[in-house]
């Protein structure tokens, strides 16, 4: 919900600029000069919503310019032909270019994230592709819960990077085929905190950090940090279920993939204790009680 509110704030901010421009325009005398103001919402929309948003805002701005011309100028047709059409073309071009650049930056950012996750997983062939599969499961759950597209993308990014902290875990522990000692288990429990310390300097990733930090928390408060219920962010609760599902359905150095019946039993017993019941029910619903297995796409499409 926090992310949805952020998206709404951006939309309201863009709309406010347009309305403020109209109000100011109503009171200024040199209306022709002030019409250049409409570059601001066009460029802002391109940055926030991409090329399509930039172009649509540019077209809307041009229509507003035409409306203002016919209601405020003595010779509106002459103004539109002499200046309005040219300004409209510049608005569309500017909105498209800024939007494309913003999209390219986002795609590069997600590509870098994917490379980081694969680099971490290459240390252990048993978990290669684990993060991509967790991300895919988490997004399927988020879609079923009708979360916004922006929230789905953030959850997917968090899924890809949820184990990035394992860069700080000793390789002999990651590859160990026998049960971990209590000291080794305490060491591996540090990976969410190490992950957050790695990602914290990157402002672009600030929204995913709580999901990574809390993805090993349990609903009943028995997780790493003893958080429970709504103290755990929804995205982290989704990742916790997706991570457990992926771990139980794949082979690991210390065991083979669990049977369908055993996985269902674990989820049912842990529902409301380790796992959020609603999220477990959603997972079992989209998999038909695990009759179908969720697979990640060969190449992640994050944007």
**DSSP states of 213-231 as a string?**
HTTT--TTS-STT---GGG
Instruction: Specify whether the CB–CB gap between 139 and 155 falls below 8 A.
Output: yes
Instruction: Specify whether the CB–CB gap between 42 and 57 falls below 8 A.
Output: yes
Strand residue runs (E) in 66-207: none
Q: Which residues pair with 252 in a beta bridge?
A: 255
How far from 58 is each of 50, 84, 88, 270, CA to CA, in Å? 12, 12, 7, 52
Cα torsion 208, 216, 261, 269 to 10°: value is -120
**Catalytic (active site) residue 166:** yes
Phi, psi of 202 (to 5 degrees): -95, 105
Instruction: Specify whether the CB–CB gap between 177 and 253 falls below 8 A.
Output: yes
Pick the closest to residue 24 from 44, 6, 10, 40 (CA basis): 40
**Residue of 52, 166, 176, 206 with catalytic role:** 166
Positions marked active-site: 166
């Amino acid at each position: 919900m926090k992310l949805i509110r952020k998206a709404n704030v951006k939309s309201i901010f863009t709309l406010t600029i347009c309305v403020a421009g109209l109000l100011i325009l109503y009171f200024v005398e040199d209306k022709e000069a002030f019409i250049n103001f409409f570059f601001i919402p066009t460029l802002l929309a391109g940055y926030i919503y991409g090329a399509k948003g930039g172009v649509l805002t540019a077209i809307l701005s041009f229509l507003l310019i035409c409306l203002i011309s016919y209601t405020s100028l003595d010779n509106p047709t002459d103004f539109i032909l002499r200046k309005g059409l040219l300004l409209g073309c510049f608005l569309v071009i500017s909105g498209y270019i800024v939007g494309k650049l913003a999209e390219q930056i986002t795609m590069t950012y997600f590509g870098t994230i994917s490379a980081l996750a694969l680099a971490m997983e290459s240390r252990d062939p048993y978990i290669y592709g684990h993060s991509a599969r967790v991300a895919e499961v988490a997004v399927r759950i988020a879609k079923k819960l009708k979360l916004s597209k922006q929230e789905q993308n953030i959850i997917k990014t968090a899924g890809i990077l949820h184990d990035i902290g394992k860069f700080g875990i000793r390789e002999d522990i990651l590859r160990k085929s026998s049960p971990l000692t209590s000291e080794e288990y305490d060491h591996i429990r540090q990976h969410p905190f190490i992950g957050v310390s790695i990602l914290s300097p990157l402002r672009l990733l600030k929204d995913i950090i709580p999901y990574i930090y809390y993805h090993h928390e349990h609903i009943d408060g028995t997780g790493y940090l003893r958080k429970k219920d709504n103290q755990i962010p929804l995205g982290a609760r989704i990742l916790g279920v997706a991570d457990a599902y992926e771990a139980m359905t794949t082979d690991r150095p210390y065991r083979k993939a669990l049977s369908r019946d055993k996985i269902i039993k674990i989820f049912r017993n842990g529902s409301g204790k380790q796992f959020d019941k609603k999220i477990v029910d959603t997972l079992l619903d989209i998999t038909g009680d695990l009759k179908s297995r969720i697979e990640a796409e060969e190449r992640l499409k994050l944007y």
